[in-house]
Amino acid sequence: MKSAEIRERFLAFFERHGHQRVASSSLIPANDPTLLFANAGMNQFKDAFLGREDRGYRTACSSQKCVRAGGKHNDLENVGYTARHHTFFEMLGNFSFGDYFKEEAIELSWQFLTVDLGIPTDRLYVTVFRDDDEAFAIWRDKVGVPADRIFRFDEKDNFWSMGDTGPCGPCSEIFYDYREMVPGPADPFEAIESGSDKVVEIWNLVFMQFDRDEKGDLNPLPNPSIDTGMGLERIASVMQGVSSNYQTDLFQDIMNPVAANLGLEMGREASVDAALRVIADHLRAMTFLIADGVRPSNEGRGYVLRRIMRRAMVFGKNVGQEGPFLHRQVGVVVDKMKDIYPNLDQERPQIQLLVEVEEKQFERTIRNGLPVLEKYLDRFVAEGREQVPGDVMYHIYETFGFPIDLMEDVARDRKLGLDHAGYREVLAAQGSDAKKPAQAKVHPQLLADAERFETEMTCHAGLKGSGTLKRILV
Ligand code: ATP
Ligand code: MG
Ligand code: MG
Ligand code: MG
């Protein structure tokens, strides 16, 4: 079953059950400074949950564009490692604003999965919040899920919050067991707890009951409500009998043409396949973000976009791409998604142009920064040092925009490491110095992410073709 059919079946199912079909909102949240990007289907309904807005309907369904890179739900560092995390993805959801609650939400989800989609019940597990005996009883007594297939988890997994403040509540999640298709712990509870790709979370049902305020206190919502979210890419994997989202039509229809365009062959070298996965994921993210009006820059949303674009460029370079290559692949994403998101087609030339400009600028950055960095490195080697100090890292980054992950690559060629802790200290000191507006622009949320952002590349063992970049550019 193709992803387009699953998306449509979901929306039609909830429409049949009286829900208003609502279009996805923009990836740029309207009037919500607490949020970097839309990260869940419920974002656009935040005020309806809080009782501050009457939308004219009390139940709704949608397929929402989401980006989870930066901010509270940040998955950027997962992309490439897991079969199920993307920067950009679509979240299918049904919502009740003070209409139905736990029982109906649970029954509807089960009916959709096991009757409409026909997923065998013995492949499914569910979780509930630690002391939510009510949800446990509904699953066991009303739905008929055997008690040994219902697990209890604590706040970390079964209490959902949109952000540090706002609507939140206990949740109940549905998992799919890939069994022998994917290696991992034999015990399903352990497989879930360890976050392996063997037993995968597909759907989260949130029982919205509270509004968390700045002090962290939980205030009851005017009405108990329902917010659910199911990743389209994950349910497509289940329905297409594959154990990785990248094997679904959503990604194959992008990865195949991109591989052909770049002269790469899939399925021969692990590092090439991994690069293609990252490039496909990041291409989707940059295409949708630019179409929704985000522009690459050095702060906030634009900074995250720039990181995503540059990360894709680096992966391309590591598999032999010389010069700008990404902008020519934008059309592949537009063609795959334009029927559902027509604004992509309208914005196509603009997206291509912006990606090309960014690629050329990145090439320049490296050309200008590399010789200066190398002078420093030669000196440190001569002095017998083992690490590049944080202030030098900061200087090269600030002056040339030279990314830290590439610094790491070049430094490693000379057997030098980077002093990440020192760098973070310099970054934090600059960020808090109001007299330096240029540096103070760093988004506070991103400061917290800095370490992960800056070191993630090094974790992709095998992808760091040592010196590859240099050979291409020098
Ligand atoms: P996980 O534990 O796998 O990281 P999550 O608990 O963070 O997922 P939720 O916040 O509950 O995810 O979001 C609801 C649903 O959205 C998930 O059940 C999953 O199907 C999907 N989803 C969440 N994050 C991603 C992602 N980065 N890429 C693709 N789908 C995602
Ligand atoms: Mg997550
Ligand atoms: Mg989870
Ligand atoms: Mg979840």
- How confident is the prediction along the chain (474 residues), in pLDDT tens digits per residue? 999 999 999 999 999 999 999 999 999 999 888 789 999 999 999 999 999 999 999 999 999 999 999 877 888 877 877 899 999 999 999 999 999 999 999 999 999 999 999 999 999 999 999 999 999 999 999 999 999 999 999 999 999 998 889 999 999 999 999 999 999 999 999 999 999 999 999 999 999 999 999 999 999 999 999 999 999 999 999 999 999 999 999 999 999 999 999 999 999 999 899 999 999 999 999 999 999 999 999 888 998 999 899 889 988 988 889 899 999 999 999 999 999 999 999 999 999 999 999 999 998 888 888 889 999 999 999 999 999 999 999 999 888 888 887 788 789 878 999 999 999 999 888 765 433 333 334 443 333 443 333 333 333 323 333 343 433 333
CA of 94 to the centre of ligand 2 (A): 19
Per-residue confidence (pLDDT) for residue 326, from 0 to 100 = 97
User: Which of 74, 204, 244 for mutating ligand 1's site (highest number of atoms within 8 Å of CB)?
Assistant: 204
Ranges of CATH 3.30.930.10 domains, the chain: 3-239
Per-residue confidence (pLDDT) for residue 398, from 0 to 100 = 87
Both tokens of residue 453?
Answer: 């952002």
H or E element in which residue 352 lies:
helix 343-382
68 CB under 6 A from ligand 1? yes
ipTM exceeds 0.85, yes or no: yes
Per-residue confidence (pLDDT) for residue 434, from 0 to 100 = 36
Per-residue confidence (pLDDT) for residue 80, from 0 to 100 = 72
CA distances (Å), origin 196, targets 56, 186, 199, 205, 455: 42, 11, 7, 21, 22
203 CB under 6 A from ligand 1? yes
231 CB under 6 A from ligand 1? yes
Both tokens of residue 405?
Answer: 């992950």
Specify the amino acid at residue 353: L
Specify the amino acid at residue 168: C
Which chain residues have CB less than 5 Å from ligand 3, an ion?
Answer: 201
CA of 67 to the centre of ligand 3 (A): 16
Q: Are strands 417-418 and 387-388 parallel, antiparallel or unpaired?
A: parallel
- CA geometry: angle 62, 68, 74, nearest 5 deg: 145
Dihedral, 145, 230, 158, 246 alpha carbons, nearest 10: 100
Nearest atom, ligand 1, residue 75 CA:
27
Specify the amino acid at residue 323: G
The closest alpha carbon to 155, from 187, 174, 127, belongs to 127
Specify the amino acid at residue 202: I
User: Which of 89, 232, 238 for mutating ligand 1's site (highest number of atoms within 8 Å of CB)?
Assistant: 89
Per-residue confidence (pLDDT) for residue 78, from 0 to 100 = 77
174 CB under 6 A from ligand 1? no
Cα separation of 438 and 441, whole Å?
6
463 CB under 6 A from ligand 1? no
Per-residue confidence (pLDDT) for residue 162, from 0 to 100 = 85
Ligand 1: which residue has its CA nearest to atom 27? 85
User: Which of 85, 124, 237, 251 for mutating ligand 1's site (highest number of atoms within 8 Å of CB)?
Assistant: 85
85 CB under 6 A from ligand 1? yes
464 CB under 6 A from ligand 1? no
Fold classification of 3-239 (topology level): BirA Bifunctional Protein; domain 2 (3.30.930)
Cα separation of 291 and 341, whole Å?
10
Confirm if 112 and 16 have CB atoms less than 8 A apart: no
Ligand 1: which residue has its CA nearest to atom 13? 229
What is the per-residue DSSP string for 157-214? HHEEESSSSEEEEEEEEEEEE-GGGS-S-SSHHHHHHTT-SSEEEEEEEEEEEEEE-T
CA of 163 to the centre of ligand 1 (A): 14
Per-residue confidence (pLDDT) for residue 23, from 0 to 100 = 97
Nearest atom, ligand 1, residue 173 CA:
18
Per-residue confidence (pLDDT) for residue 54, from 0 to 100 = 95
Cα separation of 225 and 102, whole Å?
9
Specify the amino acid at residue 110: W
Confirm if 175 and 202 have CB atoms less than 8 A apart: yes
Per-residue confidence (pLDDT) for residue 333, from 0 to 100 = 98
CA distances (Å), origin 10, targets 23, 62, 147, 235, 241: 13, 9, 27, 11, 18
